[in-house]
Amino acid sequence: MAVPHFLTGPEELEVSGAKIIASLKIGSFTLNFTETIVLEWIVIAVILGLAAFLTRGLRVKAVSKRQVIAEMAVEAITNLVRDTMGARWLWFTPYVATVFCFSIFGSLISLLGLKAVTSDFSVLLTWAAVTFVIITATKIKYGGIGGYLKGFADPIPVMLPINILSEVATPTAMALRHFGNIAGGGIIMALVYYGLANVSRMIGLDVPIFTVGIPAVLSLYFDLFSDFMQAFIFIMLMMVFISNAGPADDAAEGTS
């Protein structure tokens, strides 16, 4: 009996990064256009479509359910930023919301069988690098360039390499943590599918019936819970690192 290929389940486990769709060579420099970027566009379209849907026909009185959801989301993220970073960082809220939504939806598309955006290390490195830039800019803004450079020799000049290392380690650890959780969870889920398909083949079934239902329990943790947790933790750490780069809130009231 001939069974279509997509019904037989994975025959061998393949762990790799994003596929390259097109690449542009400029001299020795290669600019790759990968699968991840297309998925990012899908995610952006979904998020912006959702936002536009939720904020359609806003009213001051007699609000619709959509509007209540939109207001709750905005107020929740605003309160989170205010509680974590202080009132002077409120302008930062849209960026926090951006990373949060991007991370959650980018991870959740793995439920549709697509490759999660956040299982591409480059994506997370980008966000971590943005965080690093903001941290550095904040330090220079509040301490001046001299104060920023002096901070590396604190408390004694011998600490210089360790301080530089810890400065670089902050965003790297953030990116690696998120990447490791999502990619590792993805690989574990792939292993589960692969193993269950093999079990089905072993007892002589062409269609891997064991892959129905059983992985959903694991998917609950590795996809849903882990995705939300990692997105939340990524923005929490981002906010904590950035707000710690500046002076304490009450000391900065005059300057902001």
User: Which stretches of the chain bind another protein, using CB under 8 A?
Assistant: 13, 15-20, 23-24, 29-34, 36-37, 40-41, 44, 47-48, 51-52, 54-55, 58-61, 67, 70-71, 73-75, 93-95, 97-99, 101-102, 120-123, 125-127, 129-130, 173, 176-177, 179-181, 183-184, 187, 229-230, 232-233, 236-237
Q: Which is nearer to another protein, 8 or 55 (CB)?
A: 55
Identity of the residue numbered 101: C
**Cβ atoms of residues 130 and 171 within 8 Å:** no
- What's the closest the beta carbon of residue 93 comes to another protein, in angstroms? 7
In angstroms, give the least distance from the CB of 149 to another protein: 26
CB atoms within 10 A of CB 230: 22
1 or 24: CB nearest another protein: 24
| Spatial separation of the C-alpha atoms in residues 58 and 156, rounded to whole Å | 57
Per 3-state DSSP, the chain is made up of helix, strand and coil in percentages (nearest 5) of 75, 5, 20
Nearest distance from C-beta of residue 30 to another protein, angstroms:
8
The least distance separating another protein from the CB of residue 156, rounded to whole angstroms, comes to 27
**CB closer to another protein out of 7 and 62:** 62
Closest CA to 207 of 5, 4, 2, 7: 7
**Sign of torsion over alpha carbons 229, 240, 106, 48:** positive
Which structure tokens are listed for 207? 């269609």
Q: Which is nearer to another protein, 31 or 202 (CB)?
A: 31
Q: Which residues pair with 33 in a beta bridge?
A: 22
